[in-house]
Amino acid sequence: MQRDTEIFDLINEEKNRQINGLELIASENFVSEQVLEAAGSVLTNKYAEGYPGKRYYGGCEVVDKVENLAIDRLKELFNAEYANVQPHSGSQANTAVFHACMKPGDKFLGFDLSHGGHLTHGSPVNFSGRLYEPVFYGVNKETGLIDYDEVEEIAKREKPKMIIAGASAYSREIDYKRFREIADGVGAILFADIAHPAGLIAKGLLSDPIPHCHVVTSTTHKTLRGPRGGIIMMGKDFDNPFGEKLKNGNLKKMSALLDSGVFPGNQGGPLEHIIAAKAVAFGEALTDEFLYYTVQVKKNAKALAQAFMNKDFNVISGGTDNHMMLIDLRNKNITGKQAEEALGKAEITVNKNMVPFDDKSPFVTSGIRIGTPAVTTRGLKEDDMSRIVELIDTVVSNFEDETKLAEVKEEVLNMMQGRPLFSA
């Protein structure tokens, strides 16, 4: 067959964009060549509905081994008792948890989207807000931090069936132990969504939700540096009887409910090529090289936040404990949308983001979210962070000046030249 140059030219164009630019989107990263190879492998040809050893299709002997390896490596990485590697995305992992733990109409407590939560934590435009009844906690207006006393107060008042801890735009440690005490106090399930900081948690650089939460989900493509996808894990609660009664009168186990929440509850055939790529990424994450990488991600984020504050940028909560930060641009007379567009012209990629108590719409926003996982993979260190802030400052202060934007773009191209896209 003729080569499809139309699409492969575009793929090449995107590869060049990634190579040339400064990638500061907190949720993005660059996978290794081995992860890419597995994701582009013949495993994409295989149907394998079900789970290893219990499939609805023949010929699954090899993919069973692949999936079991992915499960074992993930359990080792997080010290988990249970793991499901089939969710196609973080959102689908979360959907499976809702299926397993609640009935439509049940009330749950999530982190407000405009304060840093995710769409799947109760947004009215998402299944979580449409099929269930969300109530929210947020951050304190002065400190930008989660106020656990307030979470407890809301939980006691609202009596949710499930509480979600975790965020898309929160730069601070999360106290999972305190969350569990709050959940236990009202008989709620505690569900942690660690989609963003998973890589740092895996290497012990942030507090660990596994000992405290009933269920933990994550994406695999952010700080974990794997293919796009989702996972579900459990610690000590994996064997808890829970939910519906079986025919013999016993309750199902949490783990069984989660498995069926993924398949057949919410997905059909698993993407075994992506599961293989997840296994490769988990193998990489188990190495010391990955530890050095995550330590550098954190160091870079600290240096970047400090450099922003030195230039009078308002970093929400006054810094970061993880890989990201949220910047309120209201003192800079530019919206998040304008900043995202102007920075894009200079080959600096960020995303506009609501800040807590934002007075602008999600399409405009007052802030930008910035993270260091991708630039750290490209080999940038603390010293580079102050240069990045100088470049961003120039763009923000001259966002309508095309000549200035072109000058910054030139500097970005120089900065990124000779830096490999793929991690070792």
For the annotated catalytic residues, the residue numbers are 47, 49, 193, 219, 222, 228
* Helix segments in 79-196, DSSP class H: 90-101, 127-131, 148-158, 176-186
Least separation in angstroms between residue 94's CB and ligand PLP is 6
Sign of CA dihedral 173, 178, 180, 185: negative
Cis peptide before 134 (omega within 30 of 0): no
Least separation in angstroms between residue 194's CB and ligand PLP is 8
Least separation in angstroms between residue 182's CB and ligand PLP is 19
User: What is the token pair recorded at 185?
Assistant: 């106090």
Pairing of strands 314-315, 324-328: antiparallel
Least separation in angstroms between residue 398's CB and ligand PLP is 31
- Cβ nearer to ligand PLP, comparing 163 with 303: 163
* Inter-residue contact 120 to 166 (CB < 8 Å): no
Could you give the CA distance from residue 351 to residue 360 in angstroms, rounded to a whole number?
A: 15
* Inter-residue contact 412 to 18 (CB < 8 Å): no
- DSSP 8-state code for residue 222: S
Annotated binding residue 105: no
Annotated binding residue 111: no
Could you give the CA distance from residue 73 to residue 93 in angstroms, rounded to a whole number?
A: 18
- Cβ nearer to ligand PLP, comparing 255 with 353: 353
Angle formed at CA 229 by CA 380 and CA 209, multiple of 5 degrees? 80
* Inter-residue contact 78 to 201 (CB < 8 Å): yes
Least separation in angstroms between residue 101's CB and ligand PLP is 16
- Cβ nearer to ligand PLP, comparing 324 with 346: 324
- Cβ nearer to ligand PLP, comparing 144 with 230: 230
- Cβ nearer to ligand PLP, comparing 82 with 191: 191
Could you give the CA distance from residue 122 to residue 395 in angstroms, rounded to a whole number?
A: 35
Least separation in angstroms between residue 322's CB and ligand PLP is 12
User: What is the token pair recorded at 324?
Assistant: 């990201």
CB count, 10 Å around CB of 79?
A: 13
- Cβ nearer to ligand PLP, comparing 71 with 224: 224
Annotated binding residue 119: yes
Could you give the CA distance from residue 272 to residue 260 in angstroms, rounded to a whole number?
A: 18
Point out which residues pair with 386 in neighbouring strands.
none
Pairing of strands 351-353, 367-371: antiparallel
- Taking CB positions, which residue lies at the least distance from ligand PLP? 90
Positions in the binding site for ligand PLP (CB under 6 A): 27, 89-91, 94, 118, 120, 166-168, 193, 195-196, 219, 230
Least separation in angstroms between residue 117's CB and ligand PLP is 7
Annotated binding residue 244: yes
* Inter-residue contact 366 to 329 (CB < 8 Å): yes
Annotated binding residue 242: no
Annotated binding residue 362: yes
Helix 61-78 × helix 272-285 angle, to 10°: 30
- Cβ nearer to ligand PLP, comparing 167 with 396: 167
Could you give the CA distance from residue 197 to residue 231 in angstroms, rounded to a whole number?
A: 14
**What residue numbers does the annotated binding site for (6S)-5,6,7,8-tetrahydrofolate cover?**
113, 117-119, 244, 361-363
